[in-house]
């Protein structure tokens, strides 16, 4: 499109339609259908939906890909399903369970501290 000469008004533009969320949502759902759900949604759908489980999985997920977060959180919840079970683990035992995630040492300490506070 040619630029208007100086002191001439811009050419008229077509009216912009307002965003229609009702039309967009079905299109978005269809577009993301082939992709897996995010790890925390997968865990919640599997029944790991307590505040403690979601918080522990969230901590595991920090700077960790979902492909690693999901099996690591499942392993933790299989071995120690309750905050009391997690609190009963030593820091090294918990670290070994979540080892595949990034920074397992500080994450194990944090998760164990939260479990102990929850139990107390």
- Which tens digits make up the pLDDT trace of 73-89? 999 999 999 999 999 99
In the predicted model, is pLDDT for residue 5 greater than 70? no
pLDDT for 36-56, tens place per residue? 889 999 999 999 999 999 999
Predicted pLDDT of residue 73:
98
Phi-psi region of 4 (alpha: psi -120 to 50; beta: other; left: phi over 0): beta
Q: Which residues contact 97 (CB under 8 A, 6 or more apart)?
A: 72, 75, 76, 79, 80, 89, 108
- The proportion of the chain whose per-residue pLDDT surpasses 90, expressed as a percent, equals 84
* CATH no. of 38-119: 1.10.340.30
In the predicted model, is pLDDT for residue 29 greater than 60? yes
In the predicted model, is pLDDT for residue 2 greater than 70? no
- Specify whether the CB–CB gap between 66 and 29 falls below 8 A: no
Q: Give the whole-angstrom CA distance, residue 69 versus residue 67.
A: 6
- Specify whether the CB–CB gap between 52 and 22 falls below 8 A: no
The domain locations on the chain are: 38-119
Local confidence band at 7 (pLDDT 50, 70, 90 cut-offs): confident
- Specify whether the CB–CB gap between 74 and 42 falls below 8 A: no
């Amino acid at each position: 499109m040619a630029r208007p000469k100086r002191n001439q008004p811009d050419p008229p533009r077509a009216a912009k339609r307002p965003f229609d969320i009702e039309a967009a949502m079905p299109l978005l759902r269809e577009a993301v259908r082939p992709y897996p759900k995010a790890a925390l949604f997968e865990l919640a759908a599997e029944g790991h939906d307590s505040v403690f489980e979601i918080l522990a999985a969230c901590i595991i997920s920090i700077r960790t890909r979902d492909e690693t977060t999901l099996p690591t959180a499942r392993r933790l919840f299989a071995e120690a399903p309750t905050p009391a079970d997690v609190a009963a683990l030593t820091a090294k035992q918990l670290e070994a369970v979540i080892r595949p995630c990034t920074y397992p040492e500080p994450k194990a300490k944090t998760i164990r501290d939260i479990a102990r506070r929850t139990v107390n």
